[in-house]
Structures are given as structure tokens and as C-alpha cells.
Amino acid sequence: MSSETVRIGIVGAGANTRLRHIPGFRAIVGVELAGVVNRTAESSRRAADAHDIPKSYAHWEELVADPDIDAVMIGTWPNMHCEITCAALNAGKHVLTEARMARNVAEAHKMLNAANDHPNLVAQIVPSPFGLQSHKMVRRMIDEGFLGEIRELVVLGADGSFWDSNQPLHWRQDRYISGVNILSLGILHETAMRWAPQTTRVFAQTTIFETERPLADSGRMTDVSVPDSLQAVTRLAGGGRGLYHFSGIDLFGPGRQIHLYGEQGTIKVKFGAEEQLFAGQAEDPELRLVDIAPEDQGGWRVEEEFIGAIRGEEPVVFTNFATGVKYMEFTEAITRSAESNRPIDLPRS
């Protein structure tokens, strides 16, 4: 299919779709944005006009069934990912879906089964952007023994993003839409999975400090159903231990970071306006900022990877459905552990 045009249909032209996917696809030769559908026929027409897309639809089922669509990009909230993904794959379309993969493990497995039923189709999840820039360097350092055996993993995602309870309920705070994933837990654990041994057990606690928020459309108060504070300890394959701290109510919190502590050295990656990689071993007086050469720097190429996989030019590295199921198993285990107040073992790969 390398010489053929790939026609993309967009289901849900939300912020990330407008910011990244639409310009990303437009930059690839031989790719057409052929259709778009939003929550209503009117919003679909507006999106089509705004982005010069020739077709709009009243319902997503119409886009999926359209024989003029080769691949479906799903930019909806997570509560729609499973249904649309399975329908698109069964209709013979390649699928790129936004993270979070799904609301729960059952939906994630259903999506994986649908992908396995259609091995000729590409099924990809928009990957965690955290660590893409430094991944090649971090992976090389680990593989060359910079850390030695990994003893501890620390994953931080704590800030004040939901500190103001006068702000309307965000979809990430609505369990029906968001599912069992808490805050940015899944997206940062996905990054940690690229570098650390497999997590085999979790023991977590959570709470909701701000239990009510106004609804954006009406202003009336509604319950918050996703925790705004999470702490977890984990066990890693090989005997290492992990520590997770996530919060949306920490003013001046540490932000997003991943630390890897080994018997020989330490690697820390901080995510902010720019991604920073720090490393050090016993002979170093302190952690040093690692200067990553341009040829070793990664970056966002989600749309290129998706189209490259469709054309048979490259495999999906970030992120296939099997990897998505792994982080969904982790996030669900965290929620089950917190709700039952007991440790939860994870499936072994």
C-alpha cells in the first residue's frame, strides 16, 4: 500500500486532534483527511469547514461504514474508544486511538482481541509523549549497564492542576468517562514500562479531597468520582521496588518525573516545558545534566509511525494494543488495591 493514498476519517476533533494529529497527517505525502464526525451533525460540519475536510457525518457509525475511509483516528473521550475501535476494525479500517486505551481492562482486552482478529490491520494507541525525546539515550544507558540492577523506581505526577474546586468538573474526574485511570498515572506508567522491569504487585491508597465540583454547562454541583490523591508501592520483576505519588491538589508539587535507582547509578528524567535527563554514578560529585546529541533525540512522530505501519514500512513501536493492555492492567490493579485495601498481583507476561 506504500504507493496508495491513505484516507483518514476523524472521530472526535478535540484539542489534541487539532493540535497534533491534523497537522501531523497533513504533513505526510499521500495522506488525505477524508472525513470527520463530532458529537452532533452541526459540530461535525463546523469541524469539517474549519479544517477543510470534505466530508462530515451525523454519527460515527456512518464514518466507520464509509468505503472511502481507509483508517480511523479516534479522538473521543475514553468511554467511546472500545466501541468505535472494535467497529472500525471489524469494518476493515486501520485504527489510531487516543490514550487512554479504554476505561477498564475488560474493554482493553476486547480491543486487543479485535485487533488480533484482524492482523492485516494496524491498531495503535497514541503513546505517552513523556520520555520520547530521551528514550533512546535512557534505553542505551540501561542496556549498557549504567544502572546495574534496578533497585527502586519512583514515578511522580503531582501538581495543583485540580487544586481549585471552583473549577468545573474535568472529564478526567468523571469515572464513567475516564474509567479506572487516575490523573496521569497511566501515561507516566507507560513511560516507566519502557525502562523499568515489569511490575508484578501493587498496593495503593487513594482519596478524594475535593468531593464536589460544578458542572460546566449548568453550574450545579456534582460528585467527583476519580481520586485526586494517590500513593502506591509496587514490586518489580527481579526484586526491585517502586513508589508512585500522584496528585492534582499539590500546590507547587514536584510535577512529573521518573527516577531509576540502580546498584551502579541513578537516572532521573524530569518532564516540563523541556525534557531533562540527569544521571550519575558513585564517582560523580552530583547528578549531571546529560546532553543528548541531536541524532539520539526522539520526538513526536505518531502520525508518521501509523502511516508507515499501514504502508508496511515500519512496525508500531509506540504504542501497540498489547502494551496498552499492560498499562490498563496496572491502572486497574491500582484502583482495585485502593478499594480493597490489599495488594494486587499483576499478570505475568
| Domains in the chain: boundaries | 6-126+301-318, 135-298
Sequence-separated (6 or more) residues with CB below 8 Å from residue 138? 131, 194, 195, 267, 269, 277
**pLDDT tens column, 285-294:** 999 999 999 9
11/311 Cα distance (integer angstroms): 22
Query: Which amino acid belongs to residue 253?
Result: G
- The model carries a pTM of 0.94
User: So what's the architecture of 135-298 in CATH?
Assistant: 2-Layer Sandwich (3.30)
Q: Top-level CATH class of 6-126+301-318?
A: alpha beta
Q: Note the pLDDT of residue 331.
A: 97
How much is the average pLDDT of 304-324? 96
Q: What is the pLDDT of residues 68-119, one digit of tens each?
A: 999 999 999 999 999 999 999 999 999 999 999 999 999 999 999 999 999 9
CB neighbour burial string for 5-27, b if at least 16 within 10 angstroms, e if fewer? ebbbbbbbbeeebeebbbebbee
Rounded CA-CA distance 150/262 in Å is: 4
Is 122 in a helix, a strand, or coil? coil
Q: How far apart are CA 13 and CA 77, in angstroms?
A: 11
| 3-state SS assignment for residue 71 | strand
pLDDT in tens, 169-203: 999 999 999 999 999 999 999 999 999 999 999 99
| 6-126+301-318 and 135-298, same CATH topology | no
Residue 19 is which amino acid? L
> Which tens digit of pLDDT belongs to each residue from 227-244?
999 999 999 999 999 999
| Dihedral sign for Cα atoms in the order 61, 96, 333, 163 | negative
Q: What angle do CA 262, 268, 274 make, to 5 degrees?
A: 160
**Counting Cβ atoms within 10 Å, is residue 201 exposed (0-12), middle (13-18) or buried (19+)?**
middle
